[in-house]
Amino acid sequence: MRPDSASQIMRLLGQTRIPSFENISNLSMNSDCTQVVVPEEVFFTIAIAGILENLLVLIAVIKNKNLHLPMYLFICSLSVSDMLVSLYKTLENTLIILCKMGYLTPRGDLETKIDDVMDSLFVLSLLGSVFSLLAIAADRYITIFFALQYHNIMTLNRALIILAVIWAFCAGSGIAMTIFSHETATVISFTILFPFMLIFILCLYIHMFLLARSHAKKIASLPTSAGPQRVNLKGAITLTIFFGVFLCCWGPFLLHILLMKFCPLNPYCACYMSIFHVNATLILCNGIIDPMIYAFRSPELRSTLKKMFCCTRSDWNYAFNSRGKYYKTLLVN
């Protein structure tokens, strides 16, 4: 299947206008759902903004020695995967523009290979994004429920090993899914993976949330507490934002994949699939929003960035003791 299709693709690559298109337009009905087109400039802007933002996070974590912790390693992993998604989209648009201008040969072997590599990259970054979110949730869970043993459980080496395993698995899955892309099992396993991961992460966070609620009730007895209601409302808002963003950005695309597989000729499905570019833009937006809700919530990371850009004297009186960081964070908040 793939060699035939590849040759067909390459035949189309060099052509800007295909005469038989007019026939097809005559065949299609007047009231069909026209493709909702998002301008190339919007795609490029969002993709490049995503790349830059995630790059900032990576640079901040690398520069500041205090941020060499497992928690920030997982946030970095998320940034890397978001960056890869944006990079993929940028590359794809660049290739299309090059094809339109005629710089790429239509039948080149190179183009097929680039195509395959980019598909693998896409799946790799999608899976990497989800697994990074899972790793962040698990790390926070261990921080809260195994607080005393945390530094023994989650050492830096173990975090690196976990990340290596995650990315190796994602790379393998990416290559496997690209090779077996026409199988139904691929599509089903891909779309089922996301809800399962989501539910699992949701359970972790809800358990943490319940614990925070019970602690807030205790703290309510102390004089200077803010009151449990305010703390828990903020927690509810935070959790809703986490999952709302995840669902809104990935959900439409996954539904698209499912409809594409199971009802390509249904008019309702076809109308849904006509908004594909909007769905792809949402995935790019996810790459922009994720650093804001994960990385930039850390005061230390924010101050690192401020120091890098504004060159102002931040307050670097953090005790290097890790517990000192927790205390300092509380006092700052």
Would you count residue 203 as binding another protein (CB under 8 A)? Answer: no
What ranges make up the beta strands (E) of the chain? none
Q: Which is nearer to another protein, 55 or 151 (CB)?
A: 151
Of 299, 131, 146, nearest in space to 211 by CA:
146
Would you count residue 200 as binding another protein (CB under 8 A)? Answer: no
Q: Which is nearer to another protein, 268 or 316 (CB)?
A: 268
Binding residues among 285-304 for another protein as defined by CB under 8 A? none
Of 36, 30, 81, 83, nearest in space to 55 by CA:
83
- The residue range among 55-63, 88-96, 160-168, 308-316 that interacts with another protein, by the rule CB under 8 A, is 88-96
Tokens of 79: 């940034």
Burial of 79 (0-12, 13-18, 19+ CB in 10 A): buried
Q: How far is the CB of 19 from another protein (least distance, A)?
A: 10
Would you count residue 233 as binding another protein (CB under 8 A)? Answer: yes
Would you count residue 144 as binding another protein (CB under 8 A)? Answer: yes
Burial of 213 (0-12, 13-18, 19+ CB in 10 A): middle
Would you count residue 1 as binding another protein (CB under 8 A)? Answer: yes
CA angle centred on 51, ends 84 and 193, rounded to 5°: 35
- Binding test (CB under 8 A) with another protein, winner from 44, 169, 243, 296: 243
Q: How far is the CB of 311 from another protein (least distance, A)?
A: 27
CB atoms within 10 A of CB 250: 20
- The residue range among 115-123, 157-165, 192-200, 307-315 that interacts with another protein, by the rule CB under 8 A, is 115-123
Would you count residue 99 as binding another protein (CB under 8 A)? Answer: yes
Amino acid at 28: S
The CA–CA distances, whole Å, from 44 to 138, 248, 308 equal 34, 21, 26
- Binding test (CB under 8 A) with another protein, winner from 177, 204, 282, 301: 177
Amino acid at 186: T
- Binding test (CB under 8 A) with another protein, winner from 45, 62, 68, 100: 100
The contact mask relative to another protein for 248-267 (x = CB under 8 A, - = no) is x--xxx-xxx-xxx--xxxx
Binding residues among 45-84 for another protein as defined by CB under 8 A? none
Would you count residue 222 as binding another protein (CB under 8 A)? Answer: yes
Would you count residue 109 as binding another protein (CB under 8 A)? Answer: no
Would you count residue 219 as binding another protein (CB under 8 A)? Answer: yes
d(CA 78, CA 129): 5
d(CA 146, CA 158): 16
